[in-house]
Chain A
Amino acid sequence: MSVLHCADLSVATLQTLLSAKLAQAPAFFLQAPIVLNLNDINQIPDFVSLKSLFTELKLVLVGVTAANPEQKAAAHAAGLAVLQAPKANVKAREPAPAMPPATSAATSSAGVAAVAATMDSKVVEQTVRSGQQIYAKGTDLIVKGAVGAGAEVIADGNIHIYGSLRGKAIAGANGDTSKRIYCYNLQAELVSIAGNYWLSDSLQGKFWGKSACIKMQDDSLVISELV
């Protein structure tokens, strides 16, 4: 889950900073669940107005982490989850390398330290066999092998298949029409993006048995060859 580190939690500052960040890649964080890291904050933020700000920016504020007891109570009152700070655990086990002072100075002046790394893609190393179902929740799915006839691969993000696609592939399962399906050899039973699907009958043609990319364009699926 994306974690937001921030030195100043006033609604106005956050709005400008986050809008700028989101403008770089509008679809990337669309409806992304966000956790606020309160490590650098001492006062109790106004969680209710923060929540509505996030909703306005098409983000979902789900919880806080590294909160002190008063902040925890306030977060509970606002209906937010309080999560264990993972960083602290890691630090307890191995001392983290000291942050280069230059960077921390730069980021703290910027206010938003980092909208931390996004969720890792789900990677399947082998072939997905008939009868198996794989779901990459909230992320991309990468299959190194083939997807057999009668197998199903589903992702909220994009789907990449480096073998043959003989089963079903369903990308953008939570309704995101910008997601795509890439496969090395298209022989699918069904491809679907955000609920718009084609059966294998509609896929027969010049892309059958070839590498292909399937995407949504003007409310319709479009196939193009990979080069």
Chain B
Amino acid sequence: MAKIIVVTSGKGGVGKTTSSAAIGTGLALAGHKTVIVDFDIGLRNLDLIMGCERRVVYDFVNVINGEANLKQTLIKDKRTDNLFILPASQTRDKDALTRDGVEKVLNELAKDFDFIICDSPAGIESGAMMALYFADEAVVVTNPEVSSVRDSDRILGMLSSKSRRAEQGLEGIKEHLLLTRYNPERVEKGEMLSVEDVKEILAIELVGVIPESQAVLNASNSGQPVILDKESDAGQAYLDTIKRLLGEQVPFRFLNVEKKGFMKRIFGG
């Protein structure tokens, strides 16, 4: 039975697509057959982050409208086995998605895949609701600042009231907090909310803390999920996140300011 995970946040620009790409890739690396579905109809980005923008022929809306089948539309990732992408349509808008259409596509994907990652658009309108409606689990991507935290709180409210599980009275969606763009130095200076602050406000279980890192932007620009950059702090933090998503206990890293060593202090670094 496939597990549907929505990556959502309410607020835009906090790292939903980056995280969807990293989580999808990480799960595939761990041997699970995974598909990442771009729900951001009209603002297609996932293909760029995954580096498959030139291979998009058909898209999600084509499949819903019966203009193409899934086999034609899914793009197989070239670097990672077990990983597929279902791209969004760039020429349509969010209203092109219908609940029945989405359900049909997700049901079909569920036959073949272990994990279905739904990359949600920003906002709380129909597109975002469509992405979270069928979810079993949710990764709520949050930046350590007040507006992002409040928007995440709003989305958590939606997850517990507007999802299929809520409407049918099933067990609630399992919610995970993923804190991105975390900068311990700025937390120490009091310019950013700390992990503890955010956890206290949102009151859900923490699945990962991704440090603010140049590696993320580099990865996006080169169309390669940052999780593949295993040298980078962000890549390692995402790898830890995947382990936690799969139920392993992993201590959190990159939460404190790194003390500069003697050599680094002299020679810079």
Interface set of A (CB-CB < 8 Å, partner B): 126-132, 145-146, 148-151, 163-164, 166
> Which of B151, B160, B161, B201 is in CB contact (< 8 Å) with A166?
B201
Instruction: Check if B154 is an interface residue, CB within 8 A of chain A.
Output: yes
Known: A127-B203, A146-B203. A132 touches B157 (CB 8 A): yes
Closest 5 CB pairs of A and B: A129-B157, A130-B153, A130-B154, A148-B153, A131-B154
Instruction: Give Cα A166 to B200, complex, Å.
Output: 12
**CB distance B203 to A150 under 8 Å?**
no
- B203 to chain A: which residues have CB within 8 Å? 127, 145-146, 163
Bound-state CA distance A129–B14 (Å) is: 20
B150 within 8 A of A: yes
Give the size of the chain B interface in residues (CB under 8 angstroms): 13
Residues of B within 8 A of A131 (CB): 124, 153-154, 157-158
Sampled A-B contacts (25; CB under 8 Å)? A126-B160, A127-B203, A129-B154, A129-B156, A129-B160, A130-B151, A130-B154, A131-B124, A131-B154, A131-B157, A131-B158, A132-B157, A145-B203, A146-B201, A146-B203, A148-B157, A148-B201, A149-B201, A150-B150, A150-B153, A150-B154, A151-B153, A163-B203, A164-B200, A166-B201
Q: State the CA gap A163–B154 with chains docked (Å).
A: 17
Contact with A along B124-160 (1 / 0, CB 8 A): 1000000000000000000000000011011011101
Interface residues of B (CB under 8 A from A): 124, 150-151, 153-154, 156-158, 160-161, 200-201, 203
Residues of B within 8 A of A166 (CB): 201
Q: Nearest Cβ in chain A — how far from B94, in angstroms?
A: 20
User: Considering the chains assembled together, what is the distance between the CA atoms of A166 and B150 in angstroms?
Assistant: 11
The answer to whether B161 touches A149, judged by C-beta atoms less than 8 angstroms apart, is no
- Residues of chain B lying within 8 A (CB to CB) of residue A128: 157
Complex CA gap A55/B124 in Å reads 48
A129, A145, A151 — most chain B CB neighbours (10 Å): A129
Task: Enumerate chain A residues within 8 angstroms of B201, measured Cβ to Cβ.
Answer: 146, 148-149, 164, 166
**Hey, which chain A residues are within 8 Å of B124, CB to CB?**
131
Question: Considering the chains assembled together, what is the distance between the CA atoms of A127 and B158 in angstroms?
Answer: 12
Are B150's CB and A132's CB within 8 A? no
A20 CB to nearest chain B CB (Å)? 45
Q: Does A149 contact B157, Cβ atoms closer than 8 Å?
A: no
Residue of B nearest to A132 (CB): B157
| Residue from B156, B157, B160, B161 whose CB has the most chain A CB atoms within 10 Å | B157
**In the complex, A127→B175 CA distance in Å?**
13
Residues of B within 8 A of A146 (CB): 201, 203
Task: Please give, as numbers and ranges, the residues of chain A lying within 8 Å of B160 by CB-CB distance.
Answer: 126, 129
- In addition to A129-B156, A129-B157, A131-B158, 17 A-B residue pairs with Cβ atoms within 8 Å of each other are A127-B203, A129-B154, A130-B157, A131-B124, A131-B153, A131-B154, A131-B157, A132-B157, A145-B203, A146-B203, A148-B153, A148-B201, A149-B150, A149-B153, A150-B150, A150-B154, A163-B203
B231 to chain A, nearest CB (A): 38
Which of B153, B158, B200 has most A Cβ within 10 Å? B153
B154 proximity list for chain A (CB < 8 A)? 129-131, 150
